[in-house]
Structure 1
């Protein structure tokens, strides 16, 4: 399974991606903000910590 996400204007185009448990997943990430680093977080379940207003990560969750 392949998922596509992009970041532009210091924001991701996708809030959350959920994939089946045990799936092999490739994440293709396109950073459209030249020179601006972005973080992507991967969680095993929906128990991720609440995002602060300054956080800019897009969780990729397994169900």
Structure 2
């Protein structure tokens, strides 16, 4: 099996643009996902908004 580099596939260079999309994909354990979802529901906010508030508190 060849990797893309060995197969002469076009591999894009990393972006040097300093803009941020505001999008972040993070894989977390199912147990943590459950705890966050349950807590956000108790707080009456979306899971996304709850995680943003937690991250804002530590950043």
What is the TM-score when the length of structure 1 is the normalising length? 0.23
Q: Normalized against structure 2, the TM-score is what?
A: 0.24
Greater RCO between the two (CA within 8 Å, min separation 6)? 1
Larger radius of gyration: 2
